[in-house]
């Protein structure tokens, strides 16, 4: 019985030792990894007749390892973001282009784009925003 107790204690001690040595990945914060030149773009007044307008959100990887844009989604179908599919190395820049389809949408607008970023084993989101006013097309 004494032998079984000693073996059980030895197994538990080994288990605790292994658990203590297992490292958990460091949580990476968005501000430590990616920096955008701007988070909100104001188109100002847009003529509906001009159709689509596009702006570029330029970002820099300020972290120590490559980052990837996993996805970029908008709040409606009138806004179409495109983003780089390849990883962005530390110190490098990337561009997220956002197109707003103004035709048939007169009036003020504010649209959010949710960008999902992967850095190491951490995933986080960043919110970008576009806004402006679509001036209605004058009917002749």
What's the structural domain count of the chain?
A: 1
Q: What is the pTM of this model?
A: 0.76
Q: What angle do CA 83, 136, 46 make, to 5 degrees?
A: 40
Could you tell me the mean pLDDT of each successive run of 10 residues in the chain, 140 residues long?
59 53 46 90 96 97 96 94 97 98 96 96 96 91
CATH of the domain at 87: 2.60.40.10
For residue 112, tell me if it sits in a domain.
yes
Structural domain containing residue 127? 25-135
- Domain membership flag for residue 105: yes
Residue 2 lies in a domain: no
Tell me whether residue 3 is in a domain. Answer: no
For residues 43 and 68, what is the distance between their CA atoms, to the nearest angstrom? 27
Domain assignment of residue 16, yes or no: no
**For position 103, what pLDDT does the model report?**
94
pLDDT (tens digit per residue) in 28-62: 455 579 999 999 999 999 999 999 999 999 999 99
Strand partners, 24: none
Residue at 1 is within a domain: no
Q: Find residue 116's DSSP bridge partners.
A: 71, 125
Question: Is 98 part of any domain?
Answer: yes
What is the widest separation between alpha-carbon atoms in the chain?
A: 100
């Amino acid at each position: 019985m004494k032998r079984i107790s000693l073996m059980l204690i030895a197994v538990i001690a080994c288990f605790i030792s292994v658990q203590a040595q297992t490292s958990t990945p460091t949580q990476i914060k968005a501000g430590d990894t990616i920096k955008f030149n701007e988070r909100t773009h104001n188109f100002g007044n847009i003529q509906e007749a001009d159709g689509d307008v596009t702006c570029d959100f330029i970002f820099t990887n300020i972290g120590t390892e490559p980052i990837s844009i996993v996805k970029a989604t908008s709040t409606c179908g009138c806004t179409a973001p495109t983003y780089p599919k390849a990883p962005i190395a530390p110190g490098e820049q990337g561009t997220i282009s956002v197109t707003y389809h103004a035709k048939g949408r007169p009036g003020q607008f504010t649209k959010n784009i949710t960008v999902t970023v992967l850095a190491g084993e951490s995933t986080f989101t960043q919110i970008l925003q576009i806004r402006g006013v679509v001036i209605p097309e004058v009917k002749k």
